């Protein structure tokens, strides 16, 4: 489940735009069939359903004429590693991420995000593709995927054949709940390059409980350690901007000098990278304080270990 704004934050749609708008239901059995059905761009895509269902029940989901259940499309399943890249089918569930030795060994921050994700019932249903397409600023898997330079693969039918394009995840998000996906496209996979040897990563989600909580802030961090120098530093933040973001200034500050001298400049840079708002979960001021204090704590831990 990718967390959404409080139900009161998302406007209700007109009754005729809700579930009543659905005229047909389709459950394609292949990718070709799925993208063919998407040709007119008039389908609402159902994957895990963990966001779509509550939104529809509270009258806050806008439905297209077709409800297309993609859960039986085999091409959307599976985690496959190649020499330099791992391909996560869009229907990969959070549980599958958690159970994957590859994820645990090579993508620790992603594994940690999966571990902090909602609850087991939701982890079993929610998919990585759904989490990405929901484009919540606080989406749990998005921050670590940004740390790992993930790319999304979008498939559509062009001239009767499946056509693919990929783009960096960092460019995919446009705003809260909005992405670059076209109505005729299906998000088919997430490709994540294998991080370089020695790359370590951490995910921190702020909250009072391990899971079933929506981030007031989330921080993803990864780097290759070279003594007290960090190389290939990647930092991403969640819930501090309209979309999850990579923190370019923070990364530059951390790469420019060794620890611990880099810490305070990095904190100042982070303050410039983020643009938090106040909502019912946290004030902008508090989000800034958290980013500073938590990032400092993470970097101090790195320095000391």
Partner 1 sequence: MDAMEKPKYDGSLIGKRIPKMDAPEKASGKTRYIHDIDLPGQLHAKILRSSEVHARIVAIDTGAARALPGVHAVITAADVPWQRPIGVAKDHLPLKGDRVRSPRDEIAAVAAESEDIAAAAVKLIKVEYEPLPIVATAEDSLKPGAALLHGEDLIVTGPDGKREVVHKASHDNVAMTFNYGQGDIPNGEAESVVVVEDVFRLHYVTHCCMGVSGVIAEFDASENLLLYSNTQVPFLHKREFAELLGMDPGRIRIIQPPIGGGFGSKLDIYPFEPIAIYLAKITHRPVKLIFSREEEFMASPTRQPVLLKMRSGCRSDGRLTFRDVETVHDNGAYTSWGATTPFVMMQTISSLYRVPNCNYRTRAIYTNNPYAGSFRGYGNLQATFAVEAHMDKLAEAIGMDPLEFRLINAQDPGEVTPQGMHFKSCGFKDCLQTAASRSDYQAKFSAARGKWNDGNPVKRGVGMASMLHVGGGAKIYPSDGCGTIIKMDDFAHITLITGASEIGQGSETVLAQLACEELGLPLSAVTVVNNDTDVKPWDVGVHASRTTFIAGNSALGAARKAKAKILAAAASKFGRPAERLDLREGCVIDKATGEKLIEIGKLIRSLHFSDKAELVMTTFYYEPPSHKQDKEFRGDVSAAYAWATQVVEIEVDTETGIVKLLKVIGAHDVGRVLNRLGIEGQIEGGVVMGQGYALTEDLIVENGVIRNPNFRDYKLVTAPEIPEIDVSFIETMDGEGPQGAKGVGEAPAICVAAAVANAIYNATGVRITALPFTPENVYRALHSNSQPPTWIAAA
Partner 2 sequence: MSPKIDVAFKLNGVDVRTTVSPGMSALEMLRDELHLTGTKYGCGEGECGACTINVDGLSANACLMFAADCHGREIVTIEGLVSDPRTEALKKSFVAYGAVQCGFCTPGFVMQARNLLEKVRSPTPEQIRRGIEGNLCRCTGYKKIVEAISEAAAASS
Using CB under 8 A as the criterion, which residues of the chain lie in contact with partner 1 when the complex forms? 3, 6-8, 15, 20, 57-59, 206, 208-214, 216, 280-283, 285-286, 289-290, 293-294, 296-297
CB of 222 to partner 2, least distance (A): 25
CB of 280 to partner 1, least distance (A): 5
Looking at the Cβ atoms of 95 and 303, the one nearer to partner 2 is 95
163 binds partner 2 (CB under 8 A): no
Looking at the Cβ atoms of 15 and 41, the one nearer to partner 1 is 15
Helices (H), the chain: 31-37, 52-57, 94-99, 101-106, 108-115, 120-125, 128-134, 142-147, 169-172, 248-256, 263-273, 284-304
Looking at the Cβ atoms of 60 and 287, the one nearer to partner 2 is 60
Looking at the Cβ atoms of 74 and 285, the one nearer to partner 1 is 285
49 binds partner 2 (CB under 8 A): yes
- β-bridge partners, 85: 193
Task: State phi, psi for 68 to the nearest 5 degrees.
Answer: -110, 115
Question: Cα separations (Å) of 150 from 31, 98, 113?
Answer: 22, 18, 15
Question: Segment 59-78, which members bind partner 2 (CB under 8 A)?
Answer: 67, 69, 71-72
261 binds partner 2 (CB under 8 A): no
Question: Segment 90-109, which members bind partner 2 (CB under 8 A)?
Answer: 95
Residue 283's binding partner among partner 1, partner 2, none (Cβ under 5 to 8 angstroms by kind) is partner 1
Going by their DSSP bridges, the two strands 24-26 and 66-69 should be labelled as: parallel
CB of 58 to partner 2, least distance (A): 8
Binding characters for partner 2, 205-244, by CB under 8 A (x = yes): ----xxxx--------------------------------
CB of 19 to partner 2, least distance (A): 3
Question: Cα separations (Å) of 19 from 53, 61, 212, 285?
Answer: 10, 8, 27, 39
Residues in the chain: 305
Residue 30's binding partner among partner 1, partner 2, none (Cβ under 5 to 8 angstroms by kind) is none
Nearest-angstrom CA–CA distance, 10 and 50 = 16
Nearest-angstrom CA–CA distance, 158 and 164 = 9
Nearest-angstrom CA–CA distance, 153 and 166 = 4
Nearest-angstrom CA–CA distance, 258 and 231 = 10
Please give the DSSP secondary-structure letter assigned to residue 109: H
Task: State phi, psi for 144 to the nearest 5 degrees.
Answer: -65, -35
Report the candidate in 92, 61, 87 with the shortest Cα–Cα distance to residue 191.
87
Nearest-angstrom CA–CA distance, 40 and 49 = 22
298 binds partner 2 (CB under 8 A): no
Q: Which two tokens stand for residue 262?
A: 């880099």
CB of 110 to partner 2, least distance (A): 19
CB of 290 to partner 1, least distance (A): 6
174 binds partner 2 (CB under 8 A): no
171 binds partner 2 (CB under 8 A): no
CB of 137 to partner 2, least distance (A): 19
**Interface contacts to partner 2, rule CB under 8 A:** 1, 18-20, 22-25, 27, 46, 48-50, 52-54, 56-58, 67, 69, 71-72, 95, 118-122, 124-125, 209-212
């Amino acid at each position: 489940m990718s967390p959404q704004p409080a139900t009161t934050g998302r406007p209700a749609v007109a009754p005729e735009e809700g579930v009543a708008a659905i005229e047909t239901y389709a459950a394609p059995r292949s990718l070709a069939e799925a993208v063919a059905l998407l040709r007119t761009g008039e389908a609402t895509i159902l994957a895990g359903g963990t966001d779509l269902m509550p939104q529809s029940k509270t009258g806050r989901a806008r439905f297209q004429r077709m409800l297309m259940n993609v859960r039986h499309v085999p091409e959307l399943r599976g985690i496959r590693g190649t020499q330099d890249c791992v391909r996560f089918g869009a229907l990969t569930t959070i549980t599958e991420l958690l159970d994957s030795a590859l994820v645990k060994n090579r993508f620790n921050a992603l594994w940690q995000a999966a571990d902090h994700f909602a609850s087991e019932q939701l982890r079993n249903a929610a998919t990585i593709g759904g989490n990405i397409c929901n484009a919540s600023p606080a989406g749990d898997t998005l921050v670590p995927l940004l740390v790992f330079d993930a790319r999304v693969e979008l498939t559509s039918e062009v001239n009767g054949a499946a056509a693919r394009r990929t783009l960096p995840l960092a460019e995919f998000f446009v705003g809260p709940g909005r992405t670059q996906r076209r109505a005729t496209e299906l998000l088919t996979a997430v490709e994540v390059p294998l991080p370089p040897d020695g790359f370590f990563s951490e995910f921190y989600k702020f909250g009072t409980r391990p899971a079933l909580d929506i981030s007031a802030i989330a921080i993803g961090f990864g780097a290759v350690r070279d003594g007290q120098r960090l190389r290939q530093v990647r930092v991403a933040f969640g819930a501090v901007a309209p979309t999850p973001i990579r923190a370019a200034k923070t990364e530059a500050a951390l790469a420019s000098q060794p620890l611990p001298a880099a810490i305070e400049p990095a904190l100042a840079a982070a303050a410039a990278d983020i643009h938090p708002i106040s909502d019912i979960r946290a004030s902008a001021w508090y989000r800034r304080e958290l980013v500073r204090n938590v990032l400092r704590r993470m970097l101090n831990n790195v320095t000391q270990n």
